[in-house]
Structure formats: structure tokens, C-alpha cells
Amino acid sequence: MFVFTLIFIVKRYLLTYAYARIFQYKVLNNVLYLNKKLFLFGLSETSNCPFCNTENEDTSHLFYDCPQTRDLWLALKNAFDTILPLPDLTTKHALLGFFDHDREHCMIVNHVLLIFKIFIYRQRSSGILSIDNLLTKIKDIAILEINVANFYPQNNDWYLQKWRPIFPIIFD
């Protein structure tokens, strides 16, 4: 049973990690196909954003310009306010990350940003963005990484240090 649990947790983590890397690669290289391009190919009925339904959906609109995306980032900032102050979101940061942010929390802030973007992308079919669902997703990924780290003691401290700032949210 222990071996099966270990294999399941590690596989799930590796799949999650690989998906996140591929996703960010697609964002950086502008090959994340959204409604603007899909409409041109005849694969979407509209070129509009599924959340605001007013502008063409491209990466900068989806991850920064959309009013619902901005509201979600502000809600996330408010949820993390006392434990991990998140910086303001700009188009540059939304697409590339926060590499000019303080070094101590750079890793966790960028990971939260990546989870934020993947969450938005996956919610396109429903057209609904929920701060509660986003926080649940962040908790799930944090717990998954911490569980993987427990099986690999040499990495345990690194993962615990990374997620420590948001422990109050993870283990509420």
C-alpha cells in the first residue's frame, strides 16, 4: 500500500509539474491557442473572451486585461495580504513572471502566478472565476508538493521553505 501511494503521489506531482512547464512555455512563445486564433481557424464560434465577452481573447487579455482576471488577482492579493503580499499585476508580469520581486518570496509568488494562469485557462469553458476554487487549487498543489517532499528528505526543507509563507491558508 505504501509503495502504491508513493508511486501515485509522485506520478501526480510529475504530471502537474510537466503540465505547468509546458503551459508556461506556450505562454512565453505565444502558442497557447485561445479564442482569437481558434476563431481564425474556424474552431471557435467567437473570438471574444469567455469571461468578459467584450474583447478578443489573447494571452495579454486573458491573463491581465480582462476585468474578471484583474478582479480575481485582487481577490487573491486580499486573501494573501497578511501572510504573503503579492505584487500588482502588469501585462509583463502576467506573461513573464515576477523576477523583479523580492528574492525571499520570488519562488512562491511565481508559482502562485503560474497556478493562477493555469486556473484561468482551465475555467474558460465555464466562464466563471471563483477565488474559493483558486485557493483550493493552490492548497491542493502545495499539499501535493509537501507530500512528495516527505518521501524525499533531501528536498523536504526546500519545499517546506517555499510554501511556509502560506501555511496559514494551506492548513486552516
pLDDT tens profile 88-125: 999 999 999 988 767 778 889 999 999 999 999 999 99
Nearest to 123 by CA among 84, 79, 66: 66
Long-range contacts formed by 18-26: CB under 8 A, 24+ apart: 19/118, 20/114, 20/115, 20/118, 23/114, 23/117, 23/118, 23/121, 24/114, 24/117
41, three cell numbers: 481557424
Q: Of residues 8 and 121, which shows the higher confidence score?
A: 121
Q: How far apart are CA 4 and CA 124, in angstroms?
A: 34
Over 80: is that where the pLDDT of 138 sits? yes
Which residues are 48's β-sheet partners? 56
Which residue carries 476563431 as its cell? 39
Over 50: is that where the pLDDT of 24 sits? yes
pTM of the model: 0.88
Among 30-39, 128-137, 142-151, name the one with the lowest average pLDDT.
Answer: 142-151
Grouping H, G, I as helix, E, B as strand and the rest as coil, residue 48 is: strand
Q: How far apart are CA 172 and CA 97, in angstroms?
A: 27
CA dihedral (164, 146, 124, 81) in degrees, to 10, reads -10
Average pLDDT of the residues in 12-30: 81
Please report the pLDDT score of residue 6 as a whole number.
Answer: 44
